[in-house]
């Protein structure tokens, strides 16, 4: 890799994604042509067959929800099962199908696509933004993944990158990337806990940061848990307001209505992060008499916190497990870093603060920390400066299945990466000519309670007795967490080494076809002139300044409402909070038209509230 070759860090998120770069230790998010710093991780197909990604896909979902795929990170590297397909029918407006290798395919707008192709479309958008920023081709990237991602999920991420035309310099865990950004931003030295709760995944990591060395001590998490689960609780609560059985059934089977409910739930959740209550009002599908079903409710912060208590307890249980694995007491933690949009929820911040007896750091934007840290590491790898050193660990124990349904661990959880382990085994019985090696991931002592990563079969064993055949099994785990396994008969020297069959890799032919298709799409994409990009960024920054001003007014009115108990002031406070939440979403990922309309609206609102005209 050339010293002058540009490099990027990518946070490929469940809900939103971001791309960043780092030069001489200075980190920055690469904005989109319209100034957005985040891109919704959504892909849609318009009725005319046009592909849209990001904010345009989010808008499409409001009218054609079955044409849009989102939160597909949860399917990366997974195998299709009837149970998963049934869950998808009740959870997402799109359907899933099985591919030739039992990989998961997403069905939208009459098209069926591998889940890695969906991810590649998001990565392709981020790559295009980076190329517009640098004015040249960009290929080298560090991409982040949840710490608890399996070998198959990591391989699927690399496959998506290949389709998008990217070369993965390294996969790194999301909490580790966030810690890199924090360590550099604050010149921090000590022990830090990273609490990373995103839209669809949850990770907790303990790191020791000293003199440019970022050493992961322990990590844990849940790759199928995140903000989407909190939203799901609210959606079920909203559905409970529909007391008429037939109407509720109609809403539950109407994809557009469910998408509307999901949006309402997310909006209310964000609003009560600022105020104590939020009014929810919507007109849903027609009832049996053709009248629109009106949904009216009030969500208070106190009720929300009681509603999601089991979810927060799940988070804290994982925190305790990671602290135990790290052999660390909470009082010996020097700093706590909150990452992911869900960590803006006051209850979570409160619980984390109480557990560690310190206020979590707000030094790095929780939505951007992961991409920024990945960019720093990408720059290090490309330039080979080696001013920082990353020492990551294994997320789960790796074992071999043995007789009786047990396991023999070869690589323990939280072992330092990269690592290699070897172990000798004998065939299960005398005279056995074939041996099957089951590779497992997980912490249980029982094979059937762990995840089967794959099996290797070694044939041609010739020993008359069990002791005659010694089978040497080798596990090699690289810095990006990808596993290779081999088994050799020490008597004959016969060796078997293969990719793990649990991976859902595409065939070489399909992979090449998708890469070519994506390259053609990138080549045909219009290029936004630099002057236009800068104008759109300035428009978005003007909106940001208005939001800051509105927050100040909101704070003053809220203080007055608390002092006087004035009901009108309290109502104004709640209305302002909702408008601030909407404006922040538009600033982060809204279209240019939305930004302009919101800017005008906020300028008028501030003028009325302050009783003085605002300058242009």
Question: Is the pLDDT at 117 greater than 50, yes or no?
Answer: yes
DSSP calls for 373-427: HHHHHHHHHHHT--SSEEE-B-SS-EEEE-GGGBEEEEE-TTPBSSEEEEEEE--
Superfamily for the 7-186+364-388 domain? ATPase, nucleotide binding domain (3.30.420.40)
Quote the CATH superfamily of domain 398-498: Substrate Binding Domain Of DNAk; Chain A, domain 1 (2.60.34.10)
Strand partners, 476: 420, 484
73 noted as active-site residue: yes
Write the CA distances from 484 to 162, 501, 506, integer angstroms. Answer: 20, 11, 18
* pLDDT tens profile 166-191: 999 999 999 999 999 988 777 888 99
Catalytic residue, from 31, 66, 174, 228: name it. 174
What confidence score (pLDDT) does residue 467 get? 66
User: According to the model, what pLDDT value does residue 503 have?
Assistant: 60
Q: What is the DSSP letter of 102?
A: S
Query: Angle CA(330)–CA(331)–CA(333) in degrees, nearest 5?
Result: 70
Annotated active-site residue in 31, 56, 73, 269: 73
Catalytic residue from among 125, 196, 480, 505: 196
pLDDT > 90? residue 328: yes
Among the listed residues 477, 479, 413, the one whose alpha carbon sits nearest the alpha carbon of residue 176: 479
Residue 489 designated active-site: no
Give the sheet arrangement for strand 213-222, strand by strand.
Answer: 335-339, 190-197, 202-210, 213-222, 389-391
Q: Please check whether residue 130 is in contact with residue 371, taking contact to mean a CB–CB distance below 8 angstroms.
A: no
Spell out the SS3 assignment of 111-137.
Answer: EEEEHHHHHHHHHHHHHHHHHHHHCCC
The tokens of 531 are what?
A: 């002057």
What are the residue boundaries of the structural domains of the chain, listed by start? 7-186+364-388, 398-498, 530-610
- Token pair recorded at residue 449: 């309670």
**In this predicted model, what pLDDT tens digit does every residue of 205-248 receive, in sequence order?**
999 998 888 999 999 999 889 999 999 999 999 999 888 788 88
Q: Is the pTM of the predicted complex or chain greater than 0.75?
A: yes
Mean residue pLDDT of the chain comes to 87
Q: How many helices (H) and strands (E) does the chain have?
A: 16, 27
For 466-492, the three-class secondary structure string (H helix, E strand, C coil) is HHHCCEEEEEEECCCCCEEEEEEECCC
């Amino acid at each position: 890799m050339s010293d002058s070759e540009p490099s990027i860090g990518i946070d490929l998120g469940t809900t939103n994604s971001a791309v960043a770069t780092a030069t001489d230790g200075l980190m920055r998010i690469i904005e989109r042509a319209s100034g957005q710093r985040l891109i919704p991780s959504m892909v849609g197909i318009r009725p005319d067959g046009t592909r849209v990604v990001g904010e345009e896909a989010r808008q499409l979902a409001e009218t054609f929800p079955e044409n849009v795929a989102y939160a597909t990170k949860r399917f990366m590297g997974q195998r299709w099962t009837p149970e998963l397909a049934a869950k998808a029918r009740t959870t997402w407006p799109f359907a899933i199908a099985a591919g030739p290798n039992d990989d998961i395919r997403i069905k939208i707008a009459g098209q069926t696509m591998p889940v890695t192709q969906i991810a590649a479309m998001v990565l392709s958008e981020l790559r295009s933004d980076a190329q517009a920023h640098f004015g040249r081709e960009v290929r080298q990237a560090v991409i982040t993944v949840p710490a608890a991602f399996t070998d198959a999920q990591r391989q699927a991420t690399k496959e998506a990158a290949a389709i998008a035309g990217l070369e993965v310099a390294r996969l790194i865990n999301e909490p580790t990337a966030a810690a890199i950004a924090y360590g550099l931003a604050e010149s921090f030295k000590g022990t830090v806990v990273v609490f990373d709760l995103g839209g669809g995944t949850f990770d907790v990591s303990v790191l020791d940061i000293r003199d440019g060395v970022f050493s992961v001590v322990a990590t844990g998490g849940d790759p199928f848990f995140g903000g989407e689960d909190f939203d799901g609780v609210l959606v079920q609560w909203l559905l409970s307001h529909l007391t008429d059985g037939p109407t509720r059934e109609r809403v539950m089977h109407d994809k557009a209505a469910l998408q509307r409910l999901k949006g309402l739930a997310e909006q209310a959740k964000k609003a009560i992060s600022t105020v104590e209550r939020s009014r929810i009002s919507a007109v849903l599908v027609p009832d049996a008499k053709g009248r629109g079903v009106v949904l009216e409710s009030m969500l208070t912060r106190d009720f929300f916190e009681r509603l999601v208590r089991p979810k927060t307890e799940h988070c804290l249980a994982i925190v305790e497990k990671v602290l135990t694995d790290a052999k660390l007491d909470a009082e010996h933690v020097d700093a706590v870093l909150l990452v992911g949009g869900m960590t803006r929820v006051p209850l979570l911040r409160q619980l984390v603060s109480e557990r560690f007896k310190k206020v979590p750091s707000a030094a790095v934007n929780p939505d951007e920390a992961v991409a920024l840290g990945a960019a720093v590491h990408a720059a290090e790898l490309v330039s080979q400066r080696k001013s920082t050193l990353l020492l990551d660990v294994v997320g789960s124990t790796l074992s071999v299945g043995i007789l009786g349904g047990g396991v023999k661990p070869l690589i323990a959880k939280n072992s330092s990466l990269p690592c290699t382990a070897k172990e000798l085994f004998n065939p299960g019985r005398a005279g056995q000519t074939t041996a099957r090696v089951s590779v497992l991931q997980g912490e249980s002592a029982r094979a059937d309670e762990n995840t089967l990563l794959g099996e290797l079969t070694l044939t041609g064993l010739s020993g008359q007795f069990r002791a005659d055949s010694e089978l040497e099994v080798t596990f090699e785990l690289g810095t990006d967490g990808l596993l290779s396994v081999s088994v050799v008969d020490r008597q004959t020297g016969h060796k078997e080494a293969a990719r793990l069959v649990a991976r859902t890799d595409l065939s070489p032919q399909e992979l090449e076809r998708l890469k070519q298709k994506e390259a053609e799409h990138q080549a045909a994409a219009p290029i936004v002139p630099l002057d236009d990009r800068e104008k759109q960024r300035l428009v978005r920054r003007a909106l940001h300044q208005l939001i800051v001003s509105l927050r100040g007014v909101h704070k003053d009115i809220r203080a007055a409402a608390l002092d006087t108990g004035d009901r009108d002031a309290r109502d104004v406070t709640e209305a302002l909070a909702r408008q601030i939440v909407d404006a922040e979403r538009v600033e982060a990922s809204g279209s240019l038209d939305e930004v302009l309309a919101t800017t005008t609206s906020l300028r008028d609102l501030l003028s009325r509230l302050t009783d003085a005209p605002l300058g242009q």
